[in-house]
Amino acid sequence: MSLFPLNQSAGPSGFGYRSTAEEVTDGLDLSGKTYLVTGCSTGLGRETLRVLTLRGARVIALARTLENAREVCAQVAGDTVPLACELSDPGSINRAVDEIRSSDHRLDGIIANAGIMALPKLQQKFDLELQFLTNHVGHFILVTVLPINGLTTMAFSSTISPERISTCHGTLMVSRSCAICYLHDTYQPGYLGRGRPQMPYIRVSLRHG
């Protein structure tokens, strides 16, 4: 077990590094709310799906394949809508958007959680670095074409209170990468990383930041 979380104190909201999703949402009633969560098949996305449905929300659960989305939705109790959405493929994103638009689902929030990290070597798709394409461009395409009721933009932070979440008319929550902390003094023009898998992504992020 890492010593890091043992040295972290709670933030102004009363929540901190060791707070769980259930603790943060304790007492919230999200009945009648609909949220879209990307990357729901594993990790933070899966836990977000579980806790949102636990609090009564309907969750449109996006994963790379419909099989993965259906599998994770079958493992939670609550109202879920599994959809396939490969964020590195604009065609897949547009198909998911079309399905959502053709349904009666009115979104109260989008949690842009999905992402890939630290690819071992430079990979490109549509002439874009794959991590940048998936984590940023894919989500940009998705969230800019889907209507959200009274959109409020919000980044994950220890200062976000449950009351603020529950009273927002519409919320876009973005799970932000901390990869930039690896930069230090290793960046040089034309430098591709010398074994550091984060560098191709960092270079692209800096160029588009």
Q: Is the pLDDT of residue 159 over 90?
A: no
* Residue 187 per-residue DSSP state: -
Of 5-19, 31-45, 80-94, 170-184, the range with the lowest mean pLDDT is 170-184
Q: Is the pLDDT of residue 140 over 80?
A: yes
Helix (H, G, I), strand (E, B) or coil at 21: helix
Helix (H, G, I), strand (E, B) or coil at 7: helix
Topology of domain 29-177, CATH = Rossmann fold (3.40.50)
* Contact status, residue 83 vs residue 107, Cβ threshold 8 Å: no
**131, containing H or E segment:** helix 130-132
Task: Note the pLDDT tens digit of each residue in 82-126.
Answer: 999 999 999 999 999 999 999 888 899 999 999 888 778 888 888
Burial class (CB in 10 A: 0-12, 13-18, 19+), 1: exposed
88 phi/psi in degrees, rounded to 5: -90, 5
Residue 118, Cα to own-chain centre: how many angstroms? 17
Q: How far apart are CA 181 and CA 200, in angstroms?
A: 14
Q: How far apart are CA 59 and CA 168, in angstroms?
A: 17
Contacts of 31 (CB under 8 A, 6+ apart): 56, 57
